Structure 1
Amino acid sequence: MSRYRPPRTAGTPLITPEGEARLRAELHELWHVRRPQVTQAVSEAAALGDRSENAEYIYGKKMLREIDSRVRFLTKRLEKLKVVSERPSDPGKVYFGAWITLEDEAGEQTRYRIVGPDELDLKQGLISIDSPLARALVGKPLDAEVLVQTPTGTRAWYIVAIEYRDQTFS
């Protein structure tokens, strides 16, 4: 059986200014803080002698490969991303970067922000623009009903509020 796995699709190349700042901070942390620390540890471990049986050396080299891989990914990804910082021309509809308050049929409200795939964090209410819910929401006005196919069946939500940074539409 082959170990080949096709590359994962990168997703929509959009990002919020906050998301770009987080990725740049991670890149800076990896390149200017973590990598020099690990490099120093590997040098010290190599000075101890036989590298083939030196767990600290082997682990350090593995960490360097992981850091370098992530740095390459972040560098290439940041070059391709388009930062979306301006408000849409029609702020009464849902677009990228919007905070949306949804109400389900039971009356429970949830709040999500549509962001790029690199910023996805459900605990903070950040959903990817590539997700089925976000795709169903984009372009919809306030008070619109949104139907989304979920693993448990079709669910309906109603758009209760749309916010873009300091503007609120409800």
Structure 2
Amino acid sequence: MGFFRELLRALSGDPFQPGYGRNRLPRDWWKIDGFVALKPASDRAPFTDVVGESHYQNVLADQVEGRFEEGVYWDVVVRIGIVDVPTDPSAIGLTIDGRGCGFIPRAEKDALLEELAALIPPDCHGAICKGQIVGGFRDGNEQASYGLRLLLRRPLEIKTR
């Protein structure tokens, strides 16, 4: 039955795959030279929200391999760093593979900056953490937007193994 469903989907030009998409990072995701990896929270812990990801839908979609009817839970490595935004000169920006993907909310920014300053040595390129792209499910004939959330243990801790 699955074969015929896939064949009909392919013939109709439907870009959605059945079910949901899942991507887990390899065990050594955090071993990137020059960066401090932050220890992730468990999947059940509260996530750190990201704002502005609606402006970066193309970046998030490029990370996900295809479209899925039920949406995705796609783990990614996210770089955290100060970016120059005219409306907020000390905004904390987030990037995936060097491309912008969102910001830390202003309400959490100052506390996070303080914690990062205490953890990151001056000769380091910055901090990385585990993130998760979610959403993108089929909503009628449309695709819902993707969202991004960070799996950060608070208070911040450096991942050592």
Return the structure number with greater strand share.
Answer: 2
Whose relative contact order is higher, 1 or 2, with alpha carbons under 8 Å and at least 6 apart?
2
Both proteins in one fold, TM over 0.5: no
TM-score by length of 2: 0.24
TM-score, normalising length: structure 1: 0.23
